[in-house]
Structure 1
Amino acid sequence: MTETPAVEAILRDELARGNRALSGVAPVISHMLESSGHALVSDAIVARLRGMLTDLARQLITASAAGADEDPIVGGYDAVAATVLGGNLDNSTVDRIADHLAGDAGLLNHLYALAMEGHLTERLEQRSSVDPVLSPLLQELIASDQAAIAELAMTTLAAQSRFAQSQRRMELPIGELPADLFATTIKRFKKAVSAGVGVTEAECIAAAMKAQKSQYDEGAGRLGLLARLVSSMRGGAVAALDLDHAGLALFTTGIATLTRQPRDLAVLACHERQAARLALSLRAAGMQVEAIERQFLLIEPSEMLPHGIGAMAPERAQELLAGRDASYVPAFGHGVG
């Protein structure tokens, strides 16, 4: 029986440590979002999270009120705010709905990954001049002689531009949620506002939420577009693993696609405390050690590449990523498309 190589033991321990840190994210955030001292949850990330939750709540309230405007029995927007939502549409009402949405760990995990992506995107632009919207790779895809790819790349560019703007405003259009989280969010909102109201008001809310579902198209969201674009590159998808050339959005989507990880985990691998996951991910995707080092220098210059990663076979790196022997596999499972 051969002895486990030292590099595997070190990486497995580091991956387990990183996974335990990720496992504590949702509980930490759910406790009043007071986690500025947590290594993986800074004040900036908490602010983005709170902003996105509040924006989702406001969108759903507005959609319900818009439905009421069309129903003379309910009596319009003010009636919904007062009768259905427990008061005027003030900050306390929005906060109450946002807090209820925050009770879902899956939604919190996903919003945390989006907040981290927004934060890392801005940091990479400031520190390494990595374009947050129009990367060189995206420009090349827009200029493709294949009309379908060029059109998809243009649509992705517009979606990435909206994401950058939304992150600056700490907002998130509800249609950008993955399908399962979109359904969960609608369900939690209905539960939060429908208890104790009249039949007419409840029907109004249900109709408004049904309209939201009919308008939803997961494939048209940014995450779906990114996944489709990387898939359209086929064997050329490895080009997405050059962060400076691809930009963070395509880089993390490329990692997720080529290593069969949830995209949220690929984003979180770019955090300084997740070096083992990033190194294993890039190696599993077939990158040589020199190329992996270049990505580390862009993401976190002070973080050392785990010694000996170049000697590990990509297949073994994939096994370590997918295995259950790293103590805990965090529940970040959204955003691949």
Structure 2
Amino acid sequence: MSKAAKDGNGPGADETDRVRDVERILKDELARSDRALHGVPSVLTHLLASAGHSLVSDAIVARLRGMHSSLAVQLLNAKSGTSGGSPDSRDIDRLADHLAGDSVVLSYCYALAMEGHLAERLEQRCSLDPILSPLLQELIASPDAATGELGMGALAAQSRFIQSQRRMELPLAELPAELFHAVLKRWEVHERGDPELASAIKALKARYDEGASRVGLLARLVSSMRGGAIAALELEHAGLALFVAALSTLGKQPRELAILACHEQQAARLALSLRAAGLEQAAIERQFLLLEPTERLPGDIGEISPKRAAALLKNASSQDQG
């Protein structure tokens, strides 16, 4: 550093002050965005019990109801399979409501509903194929047999996801391991004392394979790209599913947060996530043009190092959990 910079004069000091200003703005916006996310479960709980919500909320709430009912049907079918019966509609509704009462389950389903909604919006507005992107085509055609096989598996899984979202369903097999076991535990509490429950849970656990899930396949596919994984951060080329997987992996954050970062009111989280993943300012601007968040891209985001951007996100996450 030059003497002028050390003395607080000259471009060095100006640059430091500018970076600090950008960080302060981003911290403030991130805190505001996080407060909005914190309120999501309680708002969703209210909306699931009422009919007064906006058109977009209508679509999201309908998907949430459908996914919770879908999980309930699968659980009850697993149990009724041992006795040859079929679940009663009242039992389905009661179990669906019980599952929706878990904020973790509700938040995960909300993230999936947002992903499905955003994939449809990008298809309509930008002609982004929600299933087969140019990058996924390239990975399927890779000379590396393992990468090609992973790509085909991800393609099939993404196709199932889009169909499931249109039918407002959520296969149990697509849940992350932690959430899969949490759902089973919540079901166990709900059905406490049922003699058929233990064998049904055992059968479900025996069939479950997290690595074969869509999220698992996409994460493995991004990891297989190694240093080239940054190519998946070009939304128009990668498609939303791979873009979110790369944003999660390279930005070192849960996939649900990577999805929600793409929401129109999460500009600060999106900018920091992309910077933490290694994108330069011009590339970040291209993603903002496609996703069209309501807030503008924070100025001079490129002045913040990827390491510092990751630290800001991590600090915000730590405060959320505190």
TM-score by length of 1: 0.86
Q: Residue 10 of structure 1 aligns with which residue?
A: 25
Query: Which of 246, 258, 274 is equivalent to 1:254?
Result: 246
C-alpha displacement at 1:329, in angstroms? 2.8
**Which of 11, 36, 53 is residue 21 of structure 1 equivalent to?**
36
Pair 1:109-2:107 in alignment? yes
Q: Deviations over 1:15-68 (max 9, x none)?
A: 0001111111112222362578789x7221111111100000011111111111
Shift of 1:302: 5.3
Q: CA deviation at 1:314?
A: 1.5
Q: Are positions 1:283 and 2:281 aligned together? A: no
| Counterparts of 1:223 and 1:144, CA distance in 2 | 21
Match of 2:132 among 125, 131, 134: 134
Question: Which of 192, 197, 208 matches 1:205?
Answer: 197
Q: Which amino acid aligns with 1:277?
A: R
Which residue of the partner structure matches residue 12 of structure 2? Answer: none
CA shift, 1:312, in A, is 1.4
- Equivalent pair of 2:244/2:255 in contact (CA under 8 Å): yes
> Which protein has the bigger helix share?
2
Tell me the SS of whatever aligns to 2:279: coil
8 A contact 1:16–1:328 mirrored in 2: no
Inter-partner Cα distance in structure 2 for 1:117 and 1:218: 20
**Contact 1:19–1:330 (CA<8 Å) still a contact in 2?**
no
Change (3 A) 1:14 1:33: same
**Aligned equivalent of 1:93:** 91
In structure 2, what is the equivalent of residue 33 of structure 1? 48
Give how far 1:305 is off: 0.9
The secondary structure found in structure 1 opposite 2:262 is coil
1:35·1:43 contact (CA, 8 Å) conserved in 2? no
Give the distance between the partners of 1:23 and 1:35, measured in 2 at CA.
20
Deviations 1:218-253 (A, max 9, x none): 111000000000000000000100000000000011
Take 2:275 and 2:180, find their aligned partners in 1: how far apart are those partners?
Answer: 33
Instruction: Tell me the CA shift for residue 330 of structure 1.
Output: 6.7
Distance across 1 between alignment mates of 2:293 and 2:230: 22
Q: Give CA-to-partner distance per residue, 1:154-186, whole Å, 9 cap, x none.
A: 011000000000000000100100111111111
Q: 1:294 aligns with which of 257, 281, 286?
A: 286
CA contact under 8 A between 2:267 and 2:293: conserved in structure 1?
A: no
Please tell me the root mean square deviation across aligned C-alpha atoms, in Å.
2.2
The 1:301/1:28 distance shift into structure 2, 3 A limit, reads closer
Question: Where do 5+ consecutive residues of structure 2 fail to align?
Answer: 1-7, 9-15
How big is each residue's C-alpha offset from its partner over 1:190-226, in whole Å with a ceiling of 9 and x where there is no partner? 222234xxxxxx2322101110011000111000000
Structure number with greater CO (CA < 8 Å, separation at least 6) is 1
Question: What is the CA–CA distance in structure 2 between the aligned matches of 1:309 and 1:247, rounded to whole Å?
Answer: 24
Residue of structure 1 in register with 2:219 after alignment: 227
Structure 1 contact 35–42 (Cα < 8 Å) conserved: no
Q: Is the 8 A contact 2:47 2:53 kept in 1?
A: no
Contact 1:28 1:35 in 2 (8 A): no
Does 2:57 align with 1:42?
A: yes
Structure-2 change in CA distance of 1:303 and 1:317 (3 Å): same
Moved over 4 A (4+): 1-4, 34-39
Equivalent residues of 2:273, 2:313 under 8 A apart:
yes
Preserved CA contact (<8 Å) 1:141 1:153: yes
Asked if residue 240 in structure 1 is aligned to residue 232 in structure 2, the reply is yes
Report the secondary structure of 1:68's partner residue. coil
- Paired AA for residue 115 in structure 2: E
